[in-house]
């Protein structure tokens, strides 16, 4: 998300056994995947700053940028990258130009306690569909983006899980909204962040999903990055297996947060994620700097070429 406050991740817990236990878990997931080998883009990056040297963003198959990015999109894509604009569908930040119109339309439900200034929206409201498509998405196409990185649908879906009597129909509303975006922008690369329960519903709309924190996560209480606990990894594994069963052509991109100065720790996360068949990116929680992937420690970890969706 945009506007993340600066936070300092904790250093890597120096337990090799713990790290390789997670590696084994991810390899086990790759072995049991229902969809067989994947062909996702080999490298991707997420950058929510406003300026960066184009050469720092090159060398990726997919680059996700904030709509406020001031750089030259043509220069970013000059080496073949697909450039996606961040678009929050389930929450709206007070910083966004469309916040006033959304507030007046009555689509805002409540503030996200983890991200002050970001408000969960009611996906079922026709006014939100009009705002998201006409005022947010289509201007990004006009600016030259190749597609959209669709974030925060999980926040709206959680409303229905928590209070089904008050917020029924959030899931079909989410599917309808993403489908509406596809209708208005048929050539777009659409990548959904999270909301893995929608992989089956959206199989004809997009097969590209990103998932955060499959290896590490950000603890909002301690404001530190940490390794996932075994029970958390097990729950994530079940979600990923269900998503693959719902869409056997699913392409999964992972986003983990860590102390990016710990190059060995970052390298181990990349290696584990690649062995599991994912396209990984490891960065800071603020996503306000481009973090290059460390050179692999062994030739066996060298990347394989692939094409974007």
For the cut 60, the answer to whether the pLDDT of residue 11 exceeds it is no
Q: How far apart are CA 254 and CA 194, in angstroms?
A: 10
pTM, full prediction: 0.81
Q: Which tens digits make up the pLDDT trace of 222-261? A: 788 888 888 888 888 888 889 989 998 999 999 999 988 8
Instruction: Delineate the domains of the chain, giving CATH numbers in brackets.
Output: 16-293 (3.20.20.70)
Q: Give tens-digit pLDDT for 56-88.
A: 898 899 999 999 999 999 999 998 999 999 999
Report d(CA 163, CA 198) in Å as an integer. 19
Q: What is the pLDDT of residue 158?
A: 95
Q: Answer whether 123's CB lies under 8 Å from 90's CB.
A: yes
285-308: average pLDDT: 65
State residue 174's pLDDT score: 98
- For tokens 């692999």, the residue is 296
pLDDT of residue 298: 57
Whether 89 has a pLDDT exceeding 60, the answer reads yes
Starting at the earlier edge strand, list the strands of the sheet with 189-193. Answer: 44-47, 62-65, 82-88, 147-151, 189-193, 208-212, 251-257, 279-283
Place of tokens 């073949």: 80
**Range scoring the smallest mean pLDDT among 2-6, 20-24, 34-38, 157-161:** 2-6
pLDDT digits (tens, 9 = 90+) for 259-286: 888 999 999 999 888 888 889 999 988 8
pLDDT in tens, 119-167: 999 999 999 999 999 999 999 999 999 999 999 999 999 999 999 999 9
Structure tokens given for 287 = 């996503």
Token pair in block for residue 215: 């290896």
- Return the closest-CA partner of residue 274 out of 301, 235, 243, 296: 301
Cβ atoms of 115 and 4 closer than 8 Å: yes
- How high is the pLDDT of residue 16? 36
Q: What is the distance, to the nearest Å, from the Cα of residue 31 to the centroid of all Cα atoms in its chain?
A: 23
Report pLDDT for 301: 44
The tens digit of pLDDT for each residue in 157-202 reads: 999 999 999 999 999 999 999 999 999 999 999 999 999 999 999 9
Greatest Cα pair distance in the chain: 56
Residue 18's pLDDT is: 41
Residue 41's pLDDT is what? 39
pLDDT for residue 219 is more than 90: no
**Which pLDDT band, with edges at 50, 70 and 90, does 220 fall under?**
confident
Of the pLDDT bands very low, low, confident and very high (cuts 50, 70, 90), residue 117 is: very high
Q: What is the pLDDT of residue 55?
A: 85
């Amino acid at each position: 998300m945009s506007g993340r406050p600066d936070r300092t991740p904790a250093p890597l817990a120096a337990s090799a056994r713990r790290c390789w236990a997670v590696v084994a878990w991810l390899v086990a997931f790759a072995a049991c995947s229902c969809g067989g080998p994947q062909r996702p883009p080999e490298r991707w990056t997420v950058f929510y700053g406003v300026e960066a040297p184009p050469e720092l963003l090159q060398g990726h198959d997919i680059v996700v940028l904030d709509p406020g990015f001031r750089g030259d999109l043509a220069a970013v894509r000059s080496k073949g990258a697909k450039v996606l604009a961040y678009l929050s569908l389930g929450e709206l930040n007070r910083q966004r130009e469309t916040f006033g119109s959304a507030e007046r339309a009555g689509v805002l439900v409540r503030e996200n306690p983890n991200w002050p200034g970001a408000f969960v929206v009611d996906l079922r409201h026709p006014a939100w569909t009009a705002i998201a498509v006409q005022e947010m998405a289509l201007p990004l196409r006009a600016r030259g983006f190749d597609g959209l990185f669709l974030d925060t649908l999980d926040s709206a879906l959680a409303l229905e899980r928590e209070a089904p009597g008050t917020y029924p129909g959030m899931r079909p509303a989410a599917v309808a909204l993403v489908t509406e975006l596809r209708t208005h922008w048929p050539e777009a690369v659409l990548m959904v962040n999270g909301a893995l329960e929608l992989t089956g519903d959206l199989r004809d709309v997009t097969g590209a999903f990103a998932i955060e924190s499959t290896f590490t996560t950000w603890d909002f209480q301690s404001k530190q990055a940490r390794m996932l606990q075994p029970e958390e990894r097990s729950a994530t594994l079940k979600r990923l297996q269900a998503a693959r069963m719902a869409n056997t052509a699913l392409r999964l991109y992972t986003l983990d947060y860590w102390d990016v100065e710990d190059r060995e720790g970052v390298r181990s996360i990349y290696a584990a994620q690649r062995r599991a068949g994912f396209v990984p990116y490891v960065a800071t929680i603020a996503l306000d700097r481009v973090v290059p992937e460390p050179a692999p420690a062994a030739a066996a970890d060298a990347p394989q070429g692939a094409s974007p969706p």
